[in-house]
Amino acid sequence: MASGQSSFVQKHLTLIMANKLATVAVVLVGYMVAKLVYAVFLSPTKHIPGSLLDKTIGVRSGLSVLRGNKMHFAADQHRQYGPLVEISPGVMSCNSTTAAKTVYGSHQWRKSHFYSDFADFNGVSSLFSEVKPERAQILRRAFLPAFSRANLVAMAPNIFNHIHKFLDKLDEFERAGKPLEAYKWTRYLTFEVVTDVGFGGEYDMISSGELNHPFVMDFDGSSSWGLVKTVFPFASMVPDWMMGKKLADWRASELRTLKHAQGGLSQWRHHKQVGKTANRVDILQRLIEHGEKNPKEKLSEQELETEIMEIMLAGGDTTATTVTYGLYELALNQDVQEKLRACLRAEMPDSADVTLKHLEAVPYLDWTVKEMLRTHPTLPSLLERVVPAGGAQIAGYHVPGGSVVGMSAWSMNKSPKVFSDPLAFQPERWEKPTPEMAANMLTFSTGPRGCVGQNLAIVQTRIHIGTILRNFTVKLHPETTPEIMRTVDNFQGKPAQDRVLLYFRRTP
């Protein structure tokens, strides 16, 4: 081709490209202007306070999820705009102390699609992720017998088996003169417990002493992938080669976690067949029994696998984080620790006396556990619900039907209007709680979709904290600073750094 011709073609190609870019820019600007006009003049939530940017596009809210600080982002907006604030188009955060009953009090306020994006596994919704109230009610009926008082009492010996192994580990660290990485080891403890009482799982993580156990690594990757899906709901359709190694590995972790669940179910069936455990107390046993008694509500194999995934997701890290922050608070507040130990020893003079019955006879333990749950709620983020058709009145505003409202335990549990000196760790405040304190403590949420496993979580935390503190003194390692313990909001809260060092010394 002659050089005159080629420069003619190049010139035209450049012009076409420039035109295309200009078209894209015009379309984008037009789109943003349309969104802005909608937010200011047309949106049914235009009267609700919030920054114009957040009311127009949800970029800051999405980024806060990816950065692990959504609860702080929402709290900042409340400081500026009051108890109801639009944090992304059609999504409101609320921290009014009179709103929890309205938002969480009935099935009419359905869970938002956040839950299905985050925690549907293998295309099947679990009780946690199910947004349809009809199916959620069936699943809750199946779950409830597992958390009855009688079943929890029957589970207690299993929980004690694991905590005794944990105490041996504390002795081992003390003999070596080393601090314990408390978050990692309490995760092993609670994973062992939840897989055991969940489906008779036999993960021996504490004795094997393996930090960064593959099961836990897969689990972490799987949770991170869930969070990515809430910001980019179409992420599942993107091929591996387009998403980079880390994201592809997170996605693969979800499949590997599902394999753990499938393995758990087939091991359970095998144990049952060979009569290995005749008097089963685990949650899976109760779910299957429910199906046998109510054939119309029987769960399929795939549904059972999903529920096993959920039990691990909802019941492991939540309790581990509570116990870790609880031990940290006791290390910081030595006066509370001394008082708790004195109460435990008065009730249980000999370490062999430690039983659920004795632990439950110590009111100061009950108040301490409540205060741990209040100060460090492990689902600290906004729990989103869809406003029913017809709308609702919240914090002095009419909120239209179809929009989304969420409240955060992080804010509600520390409301100065309800809890005096809210940042202080004071178990005594639970001696005579006001009705407002009970209504605004949202650690387990509340109402028909509140935590179905909360009785197990409380029994387990009492056993862990009571047994450890009856026998050991906890002290801070100098590296365990408030910055290490800063809570990151990955929907499940966790310390900013995994390395939470604490010293444990057996108390004579």
The binding site for heme comprises 451
Query: Distance between CA 506 and CA 462 in Å, rounded?
Result: 19
Question: Which residue positions form the known binding site?
Answer: 451
Residue 365 Cα to chain centre, angstroms: 24
DSSP code for 473: E
**Least distance (Å) from ligand HEM to the CB of residue 457?**
4
Selected from 224, 443, 487, 490, the binder of ligand HEM by CB under 6 A is 443
Separation of alpha carbons 109 and 168, rounded Å: 47
Nearest to 468 by CA among 495, 507, 499, 501: 507
Q: For ligand HEM, which is the closer residue by CB, 116 or 333? A: 116
Q: Which of 418, 401, 411 is nearest to 442 (CA)?
A: 411
Q: Which alpha helices (H) appear in 417-493, and where do they start and end? A: 435-440, 454-471, 482-485
**Which residues within the stretch 128-157 sit at the binding site for ligand HEM (CB under 6 A)?**
128, 136, 140
Residue with the CB atom nearest ligand HEM in the bound state: 453
Which of these ranges, 207-215, 329-337, 427-435, 452-460, lies near ligand HEM under the rule CB under 6 A? 452-460
Please report which helix (H) or strand (E) contains residue 222, including its range: helix 214-231
Side chain identity at residue 163, one-letter code:
I
Which DSSP state fits 38?
A: I
Residue type, position 485, single letter = M
Closer Cβ to ligand HEM, 322 or 467, answer by number? 322
Q: Which is nearer to ligand HEM, 43 or 375 (CB)?
A: 375
- Tell me the window of 53-61, 231-239, 247-255, 376-384 that interacts with ligand HEM (CB under 6 A): 376-384
* Torsion sign across C-alpha atoms 304, 186, 68, 387: positive
91 near ligand HEM, rule: CB under 6 A: no
Q: Does 127 bind ligand HEM (CB under 6 A)?
A: yes
What is the per-residue burial (b if ≥16 Cβ within 10 Å, else e) of 220-238? bbbbbbbbbbbeeeebeee
Instruction: Say whether 420 sits in a helix, a strand or coil.
Output: coil
- Whether 474 and 480 have beta carbons less than 8 Å apart is answered as no
22 three-class SS: helix
Closer to ligand HEM by Cβ: residue 260 or 449: 449
Cα angle for residues 90, 94, 96 (degrees, 5° grid)? 150
Question: Is residue 453 involved in binding ligand HEM (CB under 6 A)?
Answer: yes
- For residue 444, state whether it binds ligand HEM (rule: CB under 6 A): yes
Asked whether position 462 contacts ligand HEM by CB under 6 A, the answer is no
**Residue of the chain from 77, 102, 368, 445 that contacts ligand HEM (CB under 6 A):** 445
Q: What letter does residue 404 receive in the DSSP assignment?
A: E
In angstroms, give the least distance from the CB of 265 to ligand HEM: 16
If binding is defined by CB under 6 A, does position 413 make contact with ligand HEM? no
Site string for ligand HEM, 216-235 (x = CB under 6 A): --------------------
Task: Choose among 448, 438, 395: nearest CA to 93.
Answer: 395
Least separation in angstroms between residue 418's CB and ligand HEM is 18
Q: How far is the CB of 387 from ligand HEM (least distance, A)?
A: 15
Residue from 195, 318, 337, 440 binding ligand HEM (CB under 6 A): 318
93, 128, 403, 406 from 388: Cα distances, Å: 16, 20, 8, 14
Binding letters toward ligand HEM, positions 320-339, x by CB under 6 A:
--x-----------------
Q: Side-chain half-sphere of 103: how many Cα atoms within 13 Å?
A: 32
Q: Which of 449, 462, 464, 470 binds ligand HEM (CB under 6 A)?
A: 449
Q: How far is the CB of 445 from ligand HEM (least distance, A)?
A: 4
Distance CA 471, CA 171 (A): 10
Residues that bind ligand HEM (rule: CB under 6 A) add up to a total of 25
Binding map of ligand HEM across residues 181-200, x = CB under 6 A, - = no contact = -------------x------
Residue 194 or 247: the one with the smaller Cβ distance to ligand HEM is: 194
Contact call for residues 357 and 470 (beta carbons, < 8 A) = no
Told to check if 500 binds ligand HEM by CB under 6 A, we report: no
Contact flag: residue 456 with ligand HEM (CB under 6 A):
yes
Within 10 Å of residue 401's Cβ, how many Cβ atoms? 12
User: What torsion do the CA atoms of 335, 338, 342, 344 make, to the nearest 10 degrees?
Assistant: 110
CA-based max dimension of the chain: 100
Q: Is 299 in the site for ligand HEM (CB under 6 A)?
A: no
Part of the chain binding ligand HEM (CB under 6 A), chosen from 160-168, 328-336, 417-425, 439-447: 439-447
Position 310 contacts ligand HEM (CB under 6 A): yes
CB of 446 to ligand HEM, least distance (A): 8
Residues forming the site for ligand HEM (CB under 6 A)? 127-128, 136, 140, 194, 310-311, 314-315, 318-319, 322, 378-379, 383, 443-445, 449-453, 456-457
